[in-house]
Structure 1
């Protein structure tokens, strides 16, 4: 019985029907017996299912690159939500490339850059330079390579982190450095320049039984000044501030081995909207 039919009564009359002995097809009141209204309920149920399937298919469609962007009247235009636009099609090493030349593409680029610049590659000279050259604009990249070499290549700093001089983890330990974007917001936008803030959590530390710097979590907001150049968004400048920081739940911390296994088994994402 479908919702709405439970109070209709049998045949819609509100009366109780009595099944007569076999062979008598009449009604207790002498008239022909009317069929139950199950067909109406069935049609209504089928209609709801068809509409539900269609809605799910539309929400999960891959979209076509030529599809027009969502109208300005779409609720939650600036919220982090799926739009149907396909993810970025290419990569420069480990960094996605080919972001859309619009606000959505700028947000995707900023989130992808946040994930890349928060990876273990930043602590090793060769991978760091390749990564920085992939995400920074040509006019600033040489200066950024030099600045970041000084910051991330400091042997004293690496030692305090528990890393070796080449930026790798000691034997038996797993180096964890992973940025997890939670959301992105366009602060300002023109076709040539965009300012996008990315709110994210950051996992950092060494996983292993002998670790003196266990993996911990922190929360930041990074604001990226982006320039459209060479057919993609590139970074001109980055600013960072703490938080917003959520209240931690009363959860028991996982073992060092569980954390190391998780980092090795669960890959990162390409962030696109």
Structure 2
């Protein structure tokens, strides 16, 4: 399963964080309760429905392809951004959000998982279950697993509806080309150069359902993420990003699956005064801390 000069976003998009943890990492289920306000200034804009049926891809398939292919735009922007620190991007808006504590919900997290990918499955047929699914899928679609053909195919098939996945697979296979990998700083097969570690990891910060019915749900997932090459001599250091992924989910085969998705940059907080870590420290952290599977 959002990059401009400093982040993943539809303007541009994001290739995501650790959406599919590498084999060997322990998976954990984290339960968080997200504030549910009435009107949210950060709510995703409603997208108009596509027009009539014509030749080529259906509007539903086209939206899905655009929604996930936009993840690549971030990596392209990242590739074109040379070494050094990114530009300052402070937000001077004066609105204040009311602070609310986070707490576990009363619903037990899912225990099932997809056998091919390890992505959580079997989400509750409720609004909360849809939010949990969207969080897990955001992690999966933004991970470094998307940069490898076999794991990318497994991830896309696992989290999307059967009618959306095939067209998306074709589009992504073309997008993840040798030239694309080269521009990102990777080898032509998508692997990291010797001595460097490629980082693409996403951490959901919060979710909200903007629409819900028995068979469909629209969920926005606010995320932060890491992307870059860690290691001595890297010209594309690991940077933090902020983006919001909006997923339209459908209840298919007794689980929530993505029918279409979209991303936009932000909202991003003001950066703190935490000193940036050195290349070795970042590499050790990335290799030493496995990614998480999230369940609301």
Q: Please report the TM-score for the alignment, with normalisation by the length of structure 2.
A: 0.65
Whole-angstrom CA distance in 1 between matches of 2:244 and 2:35: 20
Structure 2 residue aligned with 1:234: 257
The reply to whether residue 86 of structure 1 matches residue 142 of structure 2 is: no
The reply to whether residue 261 of structure 1 matches residue 284 of structure 2 is: yes
Decide which structure has greater helix share: 1
Structure 1 residue aligned with 2:149: 125
Superposed displacement of residue 94, structure 1:
2.5
Whole-angstrom CA distance in 1 between matches of 2:106 and 2:174: 41
Assess if the C-alpha contact under 8 Å between 2:208 and 2:219 holds in 1.
yes
- Which ranges of structure 1 fall in alignment gaps of 5 or more residues? 1-61, 64-73
Paired residue secondary structure (2:257): strand
Structure 2 residue aligned with 1:144: 168
Change in 2 beyond 3 A, CA 1:76/1:172:
closer
| Counterpart among 184, 194, 199 of residue 176 in structure 1 | 199
Higher relative contact order (CA 8 A, sep 6+): 2
Whole-angstrom CA distance in 2 between matches of 1:164 and 1:75: 40
Superposed displacement of residue 268, structure 1:
1.6
Superposed displacement of residue 84, structure 1:
2.6
Structure 2 residue aligned with 1:57: none
Structure 1 residue aligned with 2:48: none
Once the two structures are overlaid, the 10-residue window that deviates more, 198-207 or 90-99, is 90-99
Deviations 1:5-47 (A, max 9, x none): xxxxxxxxxxxxxxxxxxxxxxxxxxxxxxxxxxxxxxxxxxx
Deviations 1:151-201 (A, max 9, x none): 2x2222211211111111111111100001000010000010000000001
Structure label with greater radius of gyration? 1
Whole-angstrom CA distance in 2 between matches of 1:265 and 1:160: 27
Paired residue secondary structure (2:223): strand
Whole-angstrom CA distance in 2 between matches of 1:111 and 1:183: 8
Paired residue secondary structure (2:123): coil
| Counterpart among 248, 269, 272 of residue 225 in structure 1 | 248
Whole-angstrom CA distance in 2 between matches of 1:169 and 1:149: 19
Q: Please report the TM-score for the alignment, with normalisation by the length of structure 1.
A: 0.70
- Which ranges of structure 2 fall in alignment gaps of 5 or more residues? 1-29, 38-99
Structure 1 residue ranges, 4+ long, deviating more than 2 angstroms after superposition: 74-81
Cα RMSD, aligned residues only: 2.1
Structure 1 residue aligned with 2:134: 110
Assess if the C-alpha contact under 8 Å between 1:181 and 1:201 holds in 2.
yes
Assess if the C-alpha contact under 8 Å between 1:125 and 1:166 holds in 2.
no
Change in 2 beyond 3 A, CA 1:76/1:200:
closer
The reply to whether residue 96 of structure 1 matches residue 107 of structure 2 is: no
Structure 1 residue aligned with 2:21: none
Assess if the C-alpha contact under 8 Å between 1:174 and 1:260 holds in 2.
yes
Whole-angstrom CA distance in 1 between matches of 2:293 and 2:169: 24
